[in-house]
A = this chain, B = another copy of it.
Amino acid sequence: MTFPAILLSEVGPRDGLQSVKATMPTADKLRWIDALHAAGVREIEVASFVPAHLLPQMADAAEVVRHARTLPGLTVMALVPNRRGAEAALAAGVHKLTMPVSASAAHSLANVRKTREQMVEEVRAIAALRREIAPQVRLEAGISTAFGCTLQGEVPEDEVIRLAAQCVAAGADESGLSDTVGYANPAQVRRLFRRLLAELGDKAGAAHMHNTRGLGLANCLAAYEEGVRTFDASLGGLGGCPYAPGASGNVVTEDLVFMFEAMGVRTGIDLQRLIAARAPLRAGLPGEPVYGMTPEAGLPRNFVQGGIANV
């Protein structure tokens, strides 16, 4: 039995770092990104292009992008909330832009001070800009609070799917779903990704799950079994969303990679080197808690990557 491979999209340098109070020095960021790349990570969201007075942790975004571009085979992603951010990210040379578009009306206003409809127009403007000055760059719209919202509670599934389709119609190359606040459960993940894949086909994007209530890996498993092949995760579980109360807890990259590799799903990532990439993270953020069960427990005896484990 063989399983299709997945792409692990590491979001720690953006999602993780923008969620902690401390600012990681640029040199440490670069060492951390180098270590992730050395472990085999081939897509990294390295920065967010937002005004430095809002997120001083991201003031060196352009420098980080320029360095990351030197790493062979790496897709360098950046988050951009608006056209101004996209201009800066494209000038720095990113390979892929990701825009957060919230399915929750309340969260959209809290996070980017725009309505959902205004965000779809922002996607359209950025898609046009990209076509004009950097047509090779990919554009992703990540539908945040797709599984519920701490501010408004339920988020209707029809609205989530419609918003994703609107973003693709406005020019995004793909649209994924984010459990920004850790409300998702596996049954809901199956339903929503099944609908997303039916609606968007190969323009259905990544699963971005949180582990806030411990269901992160179970939700990733459900998404994988529905056909999702790109998974966001954060080394050491760093990060969450600064504008959604109680939203801590990205899925831990180390545990997610262990789950897939143990199943025989190739990630292209070497687990020992991935665990070693925690050292530059810790060095750059002294005192910040770093999570992960697999690094604590160690790999199973006789564990072999890339095969069916423990059989």
Q: Which residues does A use to contact B, with CB under 8 Å?
A: 1, 3, 147-157, 181-188, 211-215, 217-218, 220-222, 246, 248-249, 252, 255, 258-259, 262-265, 292-294, 297-298, 300-302, 308-311
With known contacts A218-B259, A292-B214, A154–B186 Cβ distance under 8 A: no
Assembled-state Cα–Cα distance A262/B157 (Å): 15
Can you pick out 27 interface pairs between chain A and chain B where the beta carbons lie within 8 Å of each other?
Answer: A148-B310, A149-B301, A150-B301, A152-B301, A153-B301, A154-B311, A155-B310, A156-B311, A181-B300, A182-B297, A183-B300, A183-B310, A185-B262, A185-B263, A185-B310, A186-B259, A187-B265, A187-B308, A188-B309, A212-B293, A213-B258, A213-B297, A215-B255, A218-B220, A218-B259, A248-B297, A249-B297
On whether A255 and B213 interact (CB within 8 A), knowing A154-B310, A301-B153, the answer reads yes
The prevalent SS among residues of A at the interface is loop
Give the oligomeric copy count: 2
Residues of chain B within 8 A (CB-CB) of A293 are 211-214, 249
Q: Is the Cβ of B221 less than 8 Å from the Cβ of A186?
A: yes
User: With A213-B294, A214-B217, A217-B218 given, is the CB distance from A309 to B185 under 8 Å?
Assistant: yes
